[in-house]
Amino acid sequence: MTHHLVPTCADLASDVVVDAFDDMVNPPGLTNHWAVAQVDHDVVAVRSLNVPPVSQGDSISGQLYLGGRLARSFGRPVNVRWRPDRVERSTTIDGWEITTITVCPPGEPGVAVTIEVTETTGADRDLRLGLWLASTVTKQAGPWLSAEPPQATNTLTRTGARVVGTDGSATAVQEFVRPDGARLLDGPAHVVEAVLEVPAGATVAFGYVHAVAAEPAQAAQVAGRLVAGLPDAAQASETEWDRQIAAMFDPDDDEFSGCLPVLETDDEALRRLYWWGAVGVLWFKRDNPASVLGRTYDTLMPRYWQTTTFIWDYSLSSQVHALLDPGVMRRQIAHWVGLDIDKHFGTEWLTGGPVGYWYSVNHYAMTRLVRDYVAFTGDRAFLDESLTTADGVTQRLADDVRAWSRAWHRIRSASGLADYGEIDNLLECVSSYVHEVASLNAANVWCLRTAAGLAELEGDPGEAATLRTEADDLVALVKDLYIPGAGFFHARQPDGSLVPTRHCYDFATVGTTIAADLPARTRNEMVRFFTEELRTPSWMRALSPYDADAGYSLRADHQWNGAYPAWPPDAARSAIALGHPEVVLEWLPGLARSANQGPPGQAHFVEEAAEPVNGGARKTPPQFPYLIDWSCSSAGSWVELVISGIFGVHVDWDGTVTANGCVDGLDPGAALRGLRVGGVSYDVVDGQVRRS
């Protein structure tokens, strides 16, 4: 990686991942912010091509045939490298070296693959090359409410090397692009092959395009453009991606309504993690004309929840959204206020309607979003905006914030703490982490104090004092869940019993919300627990393997065998807040090794669960029992680790910027340039905040 201040696609290229048949590999995704796709365990194949409301579901197409035989059946591994603009794949089979570049061309509802085949035996030979093509395309008129995108049975028709699939509501057009002199073979509609005489050592070029649209004529037109543009597709994709990446850090570029600060550092790990988080959020930008919300940021990609934005995950990248695209963030917050956040975990943008069941984090997440938006933008007028909730209550956004800070009263148990429900309301795959958990009750303390700061901002010191008193009283009840000497907390059940829970979400959330309220001994014990039972060389466990619930599930985002991508940076911020930055600074090089497979995955394995990739924690695969998507929008939590954790930047409700970080222990010369708060640009240098 070169030492740029702003990365390019080449800087962000992953390491090569070797994908052998049925390996623990989650193949890389592709997007042009409209179309979304994923490559498959094959040197050509593509799956999950979706351009909502048109969808191919999770079907696979474009599998390579070589010499009349399915290429995967030779058992040869495929070398895979991801970049934001492309996926590069290569393999060698039967003396043929096959390399491909797969892109989602800018502005097109489809995917294009360039294929180069080189003869390596030193003899003139006939090359028989083909593709296995499938289609399950459909257009779903209503909302997408399932994790899996819709698909339907199609009728396939073939004309020459072009195959058309349709269910009557949408059309997919796929074409096998051949060089001059290649003779097309007869065959079924779903297997298109050609034969070409190749001189010894020569390289020949083929291609594959796949377009989807609601109307047959439109799909055919797109396919035609993709075929014509195939020679330049990779360069066009690189140019557009480099432009958008540069725009993230440019206050004068109108691609985004804001910008991120530029990081200056000689520390490779710090720089890599910062870029990883920033581009990981950009990856989820959706400029789909079908969106009723305009631009949105999805949550998972490319396989699951194609049109859904989860409140929780969006909030975990809250600072990035507030800095980079605050206009979109403002609209998203207002939309969520208008829906019942006690009954769903997010919304989907084809209709704007709710999706799923209640996530217990929602009030904390919404408070965090509003606070970050107002603090970083200075848009205090938003607090005075009247918004109408799902139950018909119209009030100022500032009053919503105060209501959220006390929403836990409605679920308060006899102990005085909030009962946050069952497994699906919390971590979904940890059966013991239910009901009265320390994390979200500590978050209630933070919400009360945040609302108190807002009351002071609005000139109501009496309300501020009342909120702070309630917060102080609640701290004592949260402390009652702590297990002295252990470093972790109980979860109290409805019958009053206490279940020890060695989960990172308690560590991360308690530490980032109420660290200053804890005695030094507790803080030290918590960090010791983290380093001894959760932290690993290049990642972390979400749940300690010593926990009695470790046998419950293998879903690695919240269990012993891995962690969700926001848990390492949030745990690191917690360790800093608890007074031990050294355990974070020594961890950064290992974490940076895990930024080597594209944007952060929905989960990465710890080293004991799966062999690392060049020392980096391997992304968890999508198949049962793991059910993990290739990337996740909470990548922005890594940016917050750098800005608020390591540089120690804090922005108050009124826009006051301070810094009290630990970056000097890593790179004394490091600086953040162009941190924009309330329309003013600041530099953070030598631990000081200066107007640019």
Q: How confident is the model at residue 636 (pLDDT cuts 50, 70, 90)?
A: very high
**Residue 264 confidence (pLDDT):** 97
- Phi first, then psi: give them for residue 383, nearest 5 degrees: -65, -25
Q: What is the mean pLDDT of the chain?
A: 97
Instruction: Check if the beta carbon of residue 110 is closer than 8 Å to that of residue 212.
Output: yes
pLDDT at residue 76 above 90?
A: yes
Instruction: Note the residue count of the chain.
Output: 692
**Residue 391 confidence (pLDDT):** 87
Query: d(Cα 349, Cα 52) in Å, to the nearest integer?
Result: 10
Query: d(Cα 258, Cα 251) in Å, to the nearest integer?
Result: 6
What mean pLDDT do residues 207-231 have?
98
**Residue 54 confidence (pLDDT):** 98
Instruction: Check if the beta carbon of residue 603 is closer than 8 Å to that of residue 504.
Output: no
Query: d(Cα 613, Cα 630) in Å, to the nearest integer?
Result: 15
Classify residue 39 as exposed, middle or buried by CB count within 10 Å of its CB (0-12, 13-18, 19+): buried
Query: d(Cα 653, Cα 375) in Å, to the nearest integer?
Result: 5
**Residue 240 confidence (pLDDT):** 98
Query: d(Cα 261, Cα 278) in Å, to the nearest integer?
Result: 10
Q: What percent of the chain has pLDDT over 90?
A: 98
Q: How many Cα atoms within 13 Å fall on the side-chain side of residue 451?
A: 30
List strand residue ranges (DSSP E) for 417-527, in order: 489-492, 498-501
Q: How confident is the model at residue 1 (pLDDT cuts 50, 70, 90)?
A: very low
Query: d(Cα 519, Cα 489) in Å, to the nearest integer?
Result: 15
| Locus of tokens 């329309």 | 679
Instruction: Check if the beta carbon of residue 84 is closer than 8 Å to that of residue 338.
Output: no
Query: d(Cα 301, Cα 280) in Å, to the nearest integer?
Result: 11
In terms of Cα–Cα distance, which of 121, 278, 252, 381 is closest to 595?
A: 278
| Locus of tokens 């102990």 | 415
**Residue 502 confidence (pLDDT):** 98
Query: Per residue in 539-549, pLDDT tens?
Result: 999 999 999 99
In terms of Cα–Cα distance, which of 258, 338, 237 is closest to 292?
A: 338
Q: Which token pair is 559?
A: 């269990």
Helix (H, G, I), strand (E, B) or coil at 290: coil
pLDDT at residue 553 above 90?
A: yes
> How many CB atoms are located within 10 Å of the residue 652 CB?
14
Query: Per residue in 578-615, pLDDT tens?
Result: 999 999 999 999 999 999 999 999 999 999 999 999 99
Query: Per residue in 103-125, pLDDT tens?
Result: 999 999 999 999 999 999 999 99
- Pairing of β 657-659 and β 649-651: antiparallel
The pTM (predicted TM-score) of the whole model is 0.97
**Residue 3 confidence (pLDDT):** 53
**Residue 390 confidence (pLDDT):** 86
Rg (CA), the chain: 26
| Angle formed at CA 496 by CA 494 and CA 498, multiple of 5 degrees | 105
Helix (H, G, I), strand (E, B) or coil at 564: coil
In terms of Cα–Cα distance, which of 119, 113, 69, 63 is closest to 92?
A: 119
Listed in sequence order, the residues at least 6 apart from 268 whose beta carbon sits closer than 8 Å to its beta carbon are 1, 592
Q: How many Cα atoms within 13 Å fall on the side-chain side of residue 305?
A: 25
Instruction: Check if the beta carbon of residue 315 is closer than 8 Å to that of residue 369.
Output: yes
For the stretch 420-427, contacts whose Cβ atoms lie closer than 8 Å and that sit 24 or more positions apart, written own/partner, are 420/360, 421/358, 421/360, 424/357, 425/357, 425/358, 425/359, 425/360, 426/360, 427/503, 427/505, 427/542, 427/558
pLDDT at residue 2 above 90?
A: no
In terms of Cα–Cα distance, which of 537, 598, 545 is closest to 568?
A: 537
Q: How confident is the model at residue 644 (pLDDT cuts 50, 70, 90)?
A: very high
Query: Per residue in 81-96, pLDDT tens?
Result: 999 999 999 999 999 9
Query: Per residue in 237-275, pLDDT tens?
Result: 999 999 999 999 999 999 999 999 999 999 999 999 999
What mean pLDDT do residues 551-571 have?
98
| Measured CA distances, 572 to 268, 544, 642 (Å) | 18, 16, 10
> How many CB atoms are located within 10 Å of the residue 362 CB?
24
In terms of Cα–Cα distance, which of 360, 259, 333, 354 is closest to 677?
A: 259
Q: Is the dihedral of CA 378, 379, 380, 383 positive or negative?
A: negative
Instruction: Check if the beta carbon of residue 416 is closer than 8 Å to that of residue 409.
Output: no
**Residue 23 confidence (pLDDT):** 80
> How many CB atoms are located within 10 Å of the residue 287 CB?
12
Through-space distance between the first and last CA atoms of the chain, rounded to whole angstroms: 28
8-state DSSP, 169: S
> How many CB atoms are located within 10 Å of the residue 234 CB?
19
Query: d(Cα 470, Cα 273) in Å, to the nearest integer?
Result: 38
Query: Per residue in 490-535, pLDDT tens?
Result: 999 999 999 999 999 999 999 999 999 999 999 999 999 999 999 9
Query: d(Cα 199, Cα 561) in Å, to the nearest integer?
Result: 50
**Residue 4 confidence (pLDDT):** 79
Query: Per residue in 384-404, pLDDT tens?
Result: 999 998 889 999 999 999 999
What mean pLDDT do residues 227-243 have?
98
In terms of Cα–Cα distance, which of 491, 502, 480 is closest to 425?
A: 491
